[in-house]
Chain A
């Protein structure tokens, strides 16, 4: 398996079919999109902190700009940036990095496979994502700018919006196609290509997380694909899937057939987008589990319980979607059902979190760089999860729905939650992928500044939510109740810019360590799972000889052994 194919640069690094190269392509593209999406938000945060004031430094360049005249952000640009921030972070940033990047790189290694089951399908998945990303970016250059109807694109607003929305829909069709191709590949790979001896209950928890995630992608994305095609038809061929009769826009009746229903879009969208939340969080929990177990030097507490919770969570994530829609005129039967399922789905989440915290008990905790991020994930995810409870109770949601409380809630799940887990993953597996360790000092600075700054952004959102400030307001202090909390916006914006500056430390570390980092051994963290049994970095085909698995994934600190870890392939 270790034979070297002599491939040219293009075939080896650009149109590669090696899961590791594709994984790195996904990860780098995803990181760039995360940076871009964050930059959009850092510009929006100027308007939120200092409404109506010109951007500093660059205002003179923008004097004659038609999108940002005089450097002041108007509502159209604000809505465009807001919609694209959400779309980019979710569909072009986090999912590609967590599933496409980490999933692709790690799953075949952790199950002892030479590659994914369908390497060319894997490449097709990446390039479909790439095209989707180019279309989304391209929409910024349209005269009317990109989509402006929020990442949720609710009709009829999105039907009436400019050409940017058409680009958004076409881009989404490519992104969905990419995820579907990827999910099939993951399922087949995990079911078929496990090494000899690697039974399902010997799989590392990260592989389980990717397994459930792949099911969610496969089953939840098709309705969105259909919905995107419907909305595209409404926009370009004049159908009325989401347009009711009798619309009067700007004083003139709208010339459409009518008879459609805008709520249908919301059902189709959230039927995807709620499982999507778990697509964002499950790989993150998987990464954190690997890092925490490795650095506590003891087995995972409740491995099987966690696997069953994961499966249950995956199943339940398909029956909670309408808790995003309590305000659409829902009756008691529907609302009671979705409130109950929402409370039920909180239980496996609590179990997963509890198991991870209990794993710390009795360990010997090594405070490595990735461990910092993995540990910080736990309380951050706890805040994100807990604040979902009042939103899942319809009566409390009457007040909190569509306020900044919601934004605070889901950002705690995906920003200091998932993103910190992804950073933990990067610091943990960087030595395997590059052969060098990342710099400790820069890494710890990156952690501590990010940890403080990110809470400085999202914690005040709960205050704004209690005060009743609506989401998506281009002028944050327009209402009396929002003027009362305007001071928090200044604090949040400054925190956001500090967070942005702290990411420079990460970027410097990421590139500098490739050249000057300490050389990594094949198994620098004394870990047990199979990816550490490969040479560093792993060659095409991964393993020098086909691995055979003899034990479970986390045999740490077994009494009477010379080392405190026994790798899975040791007999």
Chain B
């Protein structure tokens, strides 16, 4: 897919299994908001014209009692309650608590720093190697402890995120220095990366292609350019990419 052409003046296409509920919520809310605004607006403009000051027209001290405002108010309350309980609560609990099974997911760690995204894959043993802030160096940005046997097969990349399509991704998000925010617009994924916290997130892509990770939280003078690259691969492409990275590992 030619990436730039998919973007425009509206929500970009949703390429994730869970993103539809977010889009649905945004759209339903906006239909409601526009309806309310247009309703108010028509009444407002009508008043401005009909009740303008002119000769022979006098203001009324008392208004005839009307139940319409109360009725509208109750309708607004009911609508908001329905959206809250019917859409937003279930959506949030699905996105933030219904994590996919570890065994069926692509497991990764994302460690944000000024101004890049470090991605760590557990390798063939499926176990993430130990990391230690004291071991951080230019060649070892996440401080991977190479004495740890489970670290030997770990793949780490700088701002290159590859994962297979149609398979859940389970990621643990953290930060080395300041607060960043991990945002992939087409996947409807956003989560702050907070130093001192390890926050799990998940998603499942439904289409392949090349996309971008944007930082959504001000993190310093490189905030704008803290771009990462996402490649949603077919299982074959992903296997090939992984094999390529494994060759680069120091034996």
Q: Which residues of A contact B (CB under 8 A)?
A: 74-76, 79, 148-150, 154-157, 160, 244-254, 261-263, 296-299, 301, 327-332, 335-336, 339-340, 343, 346-347, 350-351, 353-354, 357-358, 360-367, 375, 378-379, 382-383, 386-387, 389-390, 393-396, 398-403, 463, 466-468, 470-475, 478-481, 483-485, 488, 556-559, 564
In chain A, what residue has the closest Cβ to B91? A395
> Contacts A156-B177, A472-B223: A398 and B95 contacting too (C-beta < 8 A)?
yes
**Inter-subunit contact A296/B177 (CB<8 Å):** no
**Inter-subunit contact A298/B179 (CB<8 Å):** no
Alpha-carbon separation in the docked complex, A351 to B96 (Å)? 34
Distance to closest chain B CB from A467 (angstroms): 6
> Contacts A361-B51, A481-B12: A298 and B60 contacting too (C-beta < 8 A)?
yes
**Inter-subunit contact A360/B219 (CB<8 Å):** no
Q: Write out, one digit per residue, whether chain B residues 56-74 have a CB within 8 A of any chain A CB (1) or not (0).
A: 0111110100000100110
**Inter-subunit contact B87/A395 (CB<8 Å):** yes
Q: Which residues of B contact A346 (CB under 8 A)?
A: 80
**Inter-subunit contact B26/A399 (CB<8 Å):** yes
**Inter-subunit contact A249/B191 (CB<8 Å):** no
Q: Which residues of B contact A327 (CB under 8 A)?
A: 181, 190-192, 216-217
In chain B, what residue has the closest Cβ to A387? B33
Q: Which residues of A contact B40 (CB under 8 A)?
A: 353-354, 357, 379, 382
In chain B, what residue has the closest Cβ to A484? B7
Q: Which residues of A contact B218 (CB under 8 A)?
A: 79, 149-150, 154, 157, 471-472
Distance to closest chain A CB from B25 (angstroms): 5
**Cross-chain contact of B84 among A160, A297, A330, A339 (Cβ < 8 A):** A339
In chain A, what residue has the closest Cβ to B45? A379
Q: Which residues of B contact A (CB under 8 A)?
A: 3-4, 7-12, 21-23, 25-26, 29-30, 32-33, 36-37, 40-41, 43-44, 47-48, 51-53, 57-61, 63, 69, 72-73, 76-77, 80-81, 83-84, 87-89, 91-93, 95-97, 113-114, 133-134, 136-138, 141, 143, 176-179, 181, 183, 185, 188-192, 194-197, 199, 212, 214-225, 227
Alpha-carbon separation in the docked complex, A148 to B222 (Å)? 12
Q: Which residues of B contact A156 (CB under 8 A)?
A: 177-179, 195
Q: Which residues of A contact B32 (CB under 8 A)?
A: 389
Distance to closest chain A CB from B114 (angstroms): 7
Alpha-carbon separation in the docked complex, A347 to B81 (Å)? 11
**Inter-subunit contact B179/A154 (CB<8 Å):** yes
**Cross-chain contact of B188 among A150, A362, A399, A463 (Cβ < 8 A):** A399
Distance to closest chain B CB from A100 (angstroms): 29
Q: Which residues of A contact B10 (CB under 8 A)?
A: 463, 466-467
> Contacts A154-B218, A245-B196, A401-B190: A396 and B26 contacting too (C-beta < 8 A)?
yes
Among A155, A252, A262, A367, the most chain B Cβ lie within 10 Å of the Cβ of A262
In chain A, what residue has the closest Cβ to B192? A327
Q: Which residues of A contact B44 (CB under 8 A)?
A: 357, 360, 378-379
**Inter-subunit contact A157/B178 (CB<8 Å):** yes
Distance to closest chain B CB from A538 (angstroms): 28
Distance to closest chain B CB from A407 (angstroms): 13
Distance to closest chain B CB from A381 (angstroms): 11
**Inter-subunit contact B134/A365 (CB<8 Å):** no
**Cross-chain contact of B133 among A76, A248, A365 (Cβ < 8 A):** A248
Alpha-carbon separation in the docked complex, A484 to B5 (Å)? 8
Q: Which residues of A contact B176 (CB under 8 A)?
A: 247-249
Distance to closest chain A CB from B75 (angstroms): 11
18 A/B residue pairs, CB under 8 Å, sorted by A: A249-B177, A263-B194, A297-B53, A332-B93, A335-B92, A336-B92, A339-B88, A343-B80, A390-B33, A396-B22, A401-B190, A402-B183, A468-B11, A468-B214, A470-B215, A471-B218, A473-B224, A479-B227
